[in-house]
Structure 1
Amino acid sequence: MQAIKKQIPNLITLLNLFSGCVALVFATQDNFEWAFYFVCLGIFFDFFDGFFARLFKVSSPLGLQLDSLADMVTSGVVPGYVMYAMLSKAQVEITASVLFPYLGFVVTLGSCYRLANFNIDTRQTDSFIGLPTPANALFILSLPLVLQYSDSLMALEMLTSQWVLLGLILGSAYILNAEIPLFSLKLKKFTLKDNIIQIVFLLFSFLLVLFFHFAGIPLLILFYVLLSVVNNQWIKK
């Protein structure tokens, strides 16, 4: 029985990887909505593999490595390809070079560095330093959907601009690895006082998505970073 319990978190991690592979197939077919849904499914599995590992007390170095390898596909390769695809279709403002869209994979490189660093950084046990790759993936996967479903001319102009997309790519690679402490959504203690910031964030996130739909996702990621910065300043006081 213990041997079976030990493999359950690893199986959930592999489901994360499988979801990322399916999302990549949809992204290559320009079906960004289903790519988004499968990335969300992968992130769901990513959250619960650690939960069950702690529940069954079967955390292992193998599980840690599997988790990062799965995240590399779901939250690294897929968003990198999405940025590549968006750059390929963007208005030509900087260069018409066929090589320019490949800069989208700078997101993948930044994600890889962040995941490798996470595995050896002992400071990130209860919180994060730099934006977690799943949050970054949600941000990027939402962009083509905002472009697809938004009636805003400003959104259309921004998300079809090479300059804006390049800025998002570079900003993404930076914030993934920035020395900015960010709170974790994982509940370590089941008291209101210890989880107040997580509860505020989840409630506000629900409202953003409810009222703004896909456009609410980039907003909630920005809110997550800003709320973390404010929380850091509050703790220092």
Structure 2
Amino acid sequence: MNIKRLIPNLFTMLNLFCGCVALVMVTNDKFDLAFYFVALGIFFDFFDGFFARKFNVAGPLGVQLDSLADMVTSGLVPGYTMFVLLRGWIVHLDFSVAALYPYLGFIITLGACYRLAKFNIDTRQSDSFIGLPTPANCLFVMSLPILLQDPPFGLILTDTVQIGLVVICFLSAYVMNAEIPLFSLKIKDFSFAKYKLQVSFLAVSVLMLVFLQILAVPLIIVLYVLLSVIDNAFKITKKA
């Protein structure tokens, strides 16, 4: 038996396991632990592909396992987290249809599923991404309940906040599947002139994480998308 062939799949299974544990944490309203288990799962998700390429053992089984694990960790977990957050809203509404609102959280799960399936057959995304990757979207969503636990929210969610969460559900599904090229974060040499956008973004991200901690997570992801849109517009203008 080729042990090297099993190593990437082991990391994929660890990703899936972390997603399962994160689901349990969300069920028990332990959103901070859920965030950390999701982050750990995404860490394992990075290394399954890394070792598959390093050991030259990439294959169709690994591709399918990776997508299935991501579907749980980066698809089901954020969707269920949003369901739990929206479920707290129905006590403030007077009509029975309100009971359906929490299920809007699973729009994130549906968007992630479509994104993962599309990614598997899209040959354009070998070096960079088109649309926001599901792990990045997941981290964005999983940071929200932690931020909402702090003052002035304290998880006593107003109608305005809840409407904002519903909007985020739809935006998440859209941004994951939108034809928005995102600049690659792979730096292949030490040329600042060539990679000034990537280096600047990573430097700002590190500073934000140091000073803002968990608040930096959604801000970094939003910044990544906005910079990509600006960079795309600049390239189009330059070509014209």
TM-score (structure 2 length as normaliser)? 0.89
Unaligned runs of at least 5 residues, structure 2: none
The answer for the alignment partner of 1:168 in structure 2 is 168
Deviations along 1:123-162, one digit per CA (max 9) or x if unpaired, are 111111111000000000000000112x346997668733
Measure how far apart 1:200 and its partner are: 2.1
Deviation at 1:226, TM superposition (A): 1.0
Once the two structures are overlaid, the 10-residue window that deviates more, 156-165 or 4-13, is: 156-165
What is the letter of the counterpart of residue 174 of structure 1?
Y
Is this contact kept in 2: 1:94–1:162, CA < 8 A?
A: no
Distance (whole Å) between structure 2 residues aligned to residue 120 and residue 30 of structure 1: 36
Report how many residues are paired.
Answer: 234
Bigger Cα displacement from structure 2, 212-221 vs 36-45: 212-221
2:83 and 2:44 map into 1 onto residues whose CA distance is 26
Match of 1:90 in 2: 89
Alignment of 1:152-191 (within 5 A): 152=152, 161-187=161-187, 189-191=188-190
Identity of aligned residues (%): 58
* SS of structure 2 residue aligned to 1:114: helix
In the alignment, the residues of structure 2 paired with residue 124 and residue 94 of structure 1 have an alpha-carbon distance, to the nearest angstrom, of 47
Contact map agreement 2:22 2:38 (CA 8 A) in 1? yes
Q: Deviations for 1:210-230, whole angstroms, at most 9, x for unmatched residues?
A: 222222211111001012122
* Cα offset, 1:4, TM superposition: 1.1
Task: Find the residue that maps to 2:99 and give its secondary structure.
Answer: coil
* Cα separation, partners in 2 of 1:153 and 1:6, compared to 1, 3 Å: closer
Q: Using the TM superposition, give the Cα deviation of residue 52 of structure 1 relative to its aligned residue in structure 2, in angstroms.
A: 1.2
Q: Contact 1:9–1:52 (CA<8 Å) still a contact in 2?
A: yes
The Cα offsets for residues 109-130 of structure 1, whole Å up to 9 and x where unpaired, read as: 0000000000011111111111
Q: Check the 8 A contact 1:87/1:162 in 2, yes or no.
A: yes
In the alignment, structure 1 segments of 5+ residues that lack a partner are none
Aligned to 2:48: 49
The change in CA–CA distance for 1:12 and 1:153 in structure 2 (over 3 A counts) is closer
- SS at the partner of 2:9? helix
Partners of 1:87 and 1:202 in 2: CA distance: 33
1:75 Cα deviation after fit: 0.3
Distance (whole Å) between structure 2 residues aligned to residue 112 and residue 35 of structure 1: 20
CA distance 1:233–1:25, change in 2 (3 Å): same
Query: 2:143 touches 2:218 (CA, 8 Å); kept in 1?
Result: yes
Instruction: Give the partner amino acid of 2:99.
Output: V
Q: Distance in 1 between matches of 2:35 and 2:186?
A: 22
1:4 corresponds to: 3
Q: In structure 2, how many angstroms separate the alpha carbons of the residues matched to 1:29 and 1:210?
A: 29
**How much does 1:198 deviate?**
3.0
Give matches, 1:1-237, under 5 Å. 3-90=2-89, 92=92, 96=96, 97-149=98-150, 151-152=151-152, 161-187=161-187, 189-193=188-192, 195-236=195-236, 237=238
In structure 2, distance between residues paired with 1:28 and 1:82: 8
Between 1:118-127 and 1:155-164, the stretch displaced more is: 155-164
Cα distance in 1 for residues equivalent to 2:234 and 2:102: 41
Q: Contact 1:147–1:159 (CA<8 Å) still a contact in 2?
A: no
Tell me which structure has the larger Cα radius of gyration. 2
CA shift, 1:93, in A, is 5.7
Distance in 2 between the 1:94 and 1:221 partners? 36
